[in-house]
Amino acid sequence: MTKDDFFQPVSAMDMPRFAGMPTFMRLPHLTMDAPEMADVQMGLIGVPWDAGTTNRPGPRHGPRQLRDLSTMIRAMNPVTGINPFKLVNCADLGDVGPNPIDLHDSMDRIAAFYEDITRRGIVPMTGGGDHLVSLPVLRGLHRGAPDRGPLAMIHFDAHTDLFDSYFGGFKYTHGTPFRRAIEEGLLDPKRVVQIGIRGTAYNYEDVEWGAEQGVRIIRVEELFDRGITAVMAEARDIVGDHPTYCSFDIDFIDPSYAPGTGTPEIGGPNSFAAQQVVRELAGVNLVGADLVEVSPPFDPEGGTAWLGVSIMFELMCVLAQSMTR
């Protein structure tokens, strides 16, 4: 087997999809001390952790179900023509093992893992986990490449995740990660775009705080009224050529297509629109991405996870394109 062959996904022409060990996209699984790690360019990583969930738990089981359903993914994107596995060396780097009884220790473990792979020059594609996962990931990316400074971000979600605190001042939940990331200097708020925001609200505190910092918040009504092409053109203009992170919460998509999530909101885009917005990231200087909040207990048959890994594949395509431009 040559090095080029090693980093290719197993084809269903050689091994049926229902057989073999499930890894992300049927890629080789590598431990951090494996000699092949020196050649990895994009790492697929699971973060099975949902200690930030405030209502319906379950995303800790997301990475396992995402891996299982990812055996359905083929190698080439038929619309864009991109085969990410031909552009860059991809591998499944396993899960970051959390501490299920200590939130802060878990965040430290996650941040340390992502700092390590960033220093190695590996671009991460993460499957979560609840949305608090994004905060320690961003910490690790910053620590591993501090010269980049605060990152830009394009964020697809039904919720801003810009709240200050929950339950009498607790600062770390899946509703607070991007407020903390802005406060910690991990994100440049004037280069942050949030798309798809909707749902009933406690108040306007999160939206008002974000607007004061310069965050561009695009409600789902504006997305539908203006259309995907126009909205994504604006998003690309806002982030420019700055190093950019993409965070995709599965609840961006309407729950009729993705019911397996903790905080579903009606009135969202369909699955095709979800593919379209990700494809419109072409040309963005992406340095990492995540797909979060898939909760298997609320969709045990796996339709939500199948949609999730399909979006992960679309994100891999634009990541690989960015890495080789």
Structure tokens at 131: 């949305």
**Residue 256 CB neighbours (<10 A):** 11
Indicate the average pLDDT of the chain.
Answer: 96
pLDDT above 70 covers a percentage of the chain that reads: 99
Residue 12 confidence (pLDDT)? 85
Q: Could you tell me the sign of the dihedral formed by the alpha carbons of 228, 156, 242, 315, in that order?
A: negative
The DSSP letter of residue 122 is: P
Q: State pLDDT tens for residues 90-100.
A: 999 999 999 99
Q: State pLDDT tens for residues 95-118.
A: 999 999 999 999 999 999 999 999
Question: Is the peptide bond prior to 262 cis by the omega test (within 30 degrees of 0)?
Answer: no
70 vs 242, 311, 313, CA distance in Å? 31, 11, 9
Whether 1 shows a pLDDT value over 80: the answer reads no
Residue 16 confidence (pLDDT)? 87
Residue 34 confidence (pLDDT)? 96
Instruction: Kindly indicate the confidence band of residue 227, based on its pLDDT and cuts at 50, 70 and 90.
Output: very high
Whether 133 shows a pLDDT value over 90: the answer reads yes
Residue 17 confidence (pLDDT)? 87
Instruction: Kindly indicate the confidence band of residue 224, based on its pLDDT and cuts at 50, 70 and 90.
Output: very high
Average pLDDT of the segment spanning 171-179: 96
Q: State pLDDT tens for residues 181-205.
A: 999 999 999 999 999 999 999 999 9
Cβ density class 76-99: b for 16+ within 10 Å, e for less: ebeeeebebbebbbbbbbbbbebe
Residue 3 confidence (pLDDT)? 57
Average pLDDT of the segment spanning 240-259: 98
Average pLDDT of the segment spanning 119-138: 98
β-partners of residue 291 are: 127, 248
Q: State pLDDT tens for residues 266-317.
A: 999 999 999 999 999 999 999 999 999 999 999 999 999 999 999 999 999 9
Residue 13 confidence (pLDDT)? 85
